Amino acid sequence: MFNIKKKIAVSAITMGLVIGTMGCGAAPSTAQKNDGDKETIEFWTISLQPTFNDYFEKLIADFEGANPNVTINWKDYPKDTIQDKLLTSIASDNAPDVVNLNADMTLTLGDKSALANAEEFISDETKNSFFDGIYGATKVEDKALALPWYTTIPIIYINESLLKDAGIPTENYPTTAAEYYDWAIDVKKKTNLYGMAMEANIREILGSAGVPVFNEDYTELLINKPEAVEVIKEFQKLYADSANPKENLDQETRAQLYNSKQVVSVYSGTTFVNKFKTTAPDVYQNTTVIPVPFEHSVTTTMYLGVPDKSKHKEMAFKFAEFVSNPDNQLEFSKTANTIPSTKKTIEDPYFKESDGSLESQIKIAAASGLEKSKEIPVPQHILEKVNRDLQDILFNDKDVQEGLDKIVEEVNKQLKD
């Protein structure tokens, strides 16, 4: 009897401590305190420290200089953890004021009404300064969920020495999708190497081809239309002919295949060069780049969102506008080899000048793709499913129309839920 009482007492104390500890966890926001009239804006970025500390320290100092009552508290998180961190901070009413998001996260958070509408705070001038395909991509029901920031444009990297060895001309590269697919099959036949490396995912395959992926308000998936079926059949042929590897082609795998000369051309972003410049210098020396020969250059854009729970929305948007304005984007492009999302920036001679290096070629090829750039955000909860099912159709030679109809039916059911 005594033992039972003792156990109950220990349990009660433990639970009391647990509840007490939880109470301690719910501390008020520290980042958003108002010290008199002084505002503190908490700014989160993804994996930019410490490489770009100098750029951001100057950027923040410039903004604080122009707005003496504002302090910017800059924090940087790895890509893999920022989403969880953001969720917990929003849940505990401790949301940052400006947060760096990719398009998928933006759309997912927007769907949960967790982001403020940028159009209520920013000027028309700012709105019109961005490329339409990038700004409009995260606009849902007239609500702009975030401001575009820096972006990456895909280009095609080609190892010319592999072509020369097989007697394939290294000029007049493909300029249309159909030419590129035929070229890749031809390269495979003549070199016995993969002609191209594009991942079996909705953006690279269907988005690049200009196939409509969603309706305007992202409530309906549209990838079972005849034009999508045609593109998928084209890729089934590329896989069947081993012109494109049947792999999950993340950046590391692409780099591994390209560095080891198993693939002649790779579809990737402007920073892909860093994956082989030092590890495979001979590949670097023999590489040339061309703009993507597709309908769209599907960008991977970083956005700046303001959580709806921010207590300083006005100032937060003012800071987001400042960070993403054409001048600051130009400076960041020069610092980080990124591509800007603002029209004015790309007119700068920097994007047309070449010193003959591969990096210059990359910059020029990418900049030329901006006119046809398009960001294709896919809500995260359906992205994995759609890509998995697309891979199944492509890798395992399933019936295309039947497979796409099934994906559309299941995903649209999820979107309605």
Partner 1 sequence: MLPGLLILAVFVFWPLIYSIPLAFTDYSVVGDMHFVGMKNFQKAFSDSDFIAALKNSIQYVIIVPIIQLISLAFAVALNQKMRGVKVFRTLFYFPVITSTVAVSIVWSWLLSSGGLINKILLGTNILSEKISWLSNDQTALWVLMFITTWKGVGYYMVIYLAGLQSVPGELTEAARIDRASSIQIFFKILIPMLKPQVVMCSLMSVMSAIKVFDEPFVLTKGGPGNSTLTASLYIYQKGFQNFDFGYAAALSLILSVIILFFSLFVKLYNRKK
What is the nearest approach in angstroms of partner 1 to the Cβ of residue 83?
7
- Quote the CA–CA distance of 215 and 236 in Å, as a whole number: 25
Q: Could you tell me which of 190, 111, 79, 8 has the C-alpha nearest to residue 377?
A: 111
Contact between 21 and partner 1 (CB under 8 A)? yes
Which CB, 254 or 296, lies closer to partner 1?
254
What is the nearest approach in angstroms of partner 1 to the Cβ of residue 7?
12
What is the nearest approach in angstroms of partner 1 to the Cβ of residue 204?
15
Which of 380, 401, 412, 415 lies at the binding interface for partner 1 (CB under 8 A)?
A: 380
Three-state SS for 172?
coil
Query: Interface with partner 1 by CB under 8 A: which range of 60-68, 211-219, 328-336, 391-399?
Result: 391-399
Q: Which stretches of 11-80 are assigned E, i.e. beta strand? A: 39-46, 70-77
Could you say which residues in the range 71-100 bind partner 1, by CB under 8 A? 83-84, 87-88, 90-91
Which CB, 137 or 382, lies closer to partner 1?
382
Burial class of residue 118 (count of CB atoms within 10 Å of its CB; 0-12, 13-18, 19+): buried
Q: Could you tell me which of 156, 142, 388 has the C-alpha nearest to residue 287?
A: 156
- Quote the CA–CA distance of 199 and 334 in Å, as a whole number: 29
Which CB, 54 or 409, lies closer to partner 1?
409
Query: Interface with partner 1 by CB under 8 A: which range of 136-144, 148-156, 238-246, 323-331?
Result: 238-246
Which CB, 22 or 27, lies closer to partner 1?
22
Q: How many residues bind partner 1 (CB under 8 A)?
A: 44
Q: Which stretches of 145-234 are assigned E, i.e. beta strand? A: 147-152, 155-159
Which CB, 12 or 61, lies closer to partner 1?
12
The number of beta carbons lying within 10 Å of the beta carbon of residue 91 is 10
- Quote the CA–CA distance of 347 and 71 in Å, as a whole number: 32
- Quote the CA–CA distance of 304 and 341 in Å, as a whole number: 12
Are the C-beta atoms of residues 357 and 386 closer than 8 Å to each other? Answer: no
Helical (H) or strand (E) element with 258: helix 251-259
- Provide, for the chain, the percentages of residues in helix, strand and coil under a 3-state DSSP scheme, each rounded to the nearest 5: 50, 15, 30
- b/e per residue 275-298 (b: at least 16 CB within 10 A): bbeeebeebbebbbbbbbbbebbb
Which CB, 11 or 175, lies closer to partner 1?
11
342: which 2 tokens? Answer: 């603002």
Are the C-beta atoms of residues 223 and 213 closer than 8 Å to each other? Answer: yes
Q: Counting runs of H as helices and runs of E as strands, what totals does the chain give?
A: 17, 11
What is the nearest approach in angstroms of partner 1 to the Cβ of residue 135?
23
What is the nearest approach in angstroms of partner 1 to the Cβ of residue 337?
26
Contact between 247 and partner 1 (CB under 8 A)? yes
Contact between 240 and partner 1 (CB under 8 A)? no
Which of 253, 271, 401, 412 lies at the binding interface for partner 1 (CB under 8 A)?
A: 253
Contact between 256 and partner 1 (CB under 8 A)? yes
Query: Interface with partner 1 by CB under 8 A: which range of 8-16, 137-145, 288-296, 365-373?
Result: 8-16
Which CB, 6 or 334, lies closer to partner 1?
6
Which of 132, 220, 381, 399 lies at the binding interface for partner 1 (CB under 8 A)?
A: 381
Contact between 237 and partner 1 (CB under 8 A)? no
102-121 footprint of partner 1 as x/- string (CB under 8 A): ------xx--xxx-------
What is the nearest approach in angstroms of partner 1 to the Cβ of residue 247?
6
Contact between 384 and partner 1 (CB under 8 A)? yes
| 368 contacts: CB under 8 Å, gap ≥ 6 | 291
What is the nearest approach in angstroms of partner 1 to the Cβ of residue 31?
18
What is the nearest approach in angstroms of partner 1 to the Cβ of residue 305?
12
DSSP state of 195: S
DSSP state of 170: S
- Quote the CA–CA distance of 383 and 227 in Å, as a whole number: 20
Which CB, 358 or 383, lies closer to partner 1?
383
Contact between 9 and partner 1 (CB under 8 A)? no
The binding site for partner 1 (CB under 8 A) comprises 10, 13-15, 17-18, 21-22, 83-84, 87-88, 90-91, 108-109, 112-114, 242, 245-248, 252-253, 256-257, 260, 262, 380-381, 383-385, 387-389, 391-392, 395-396, 410, 417
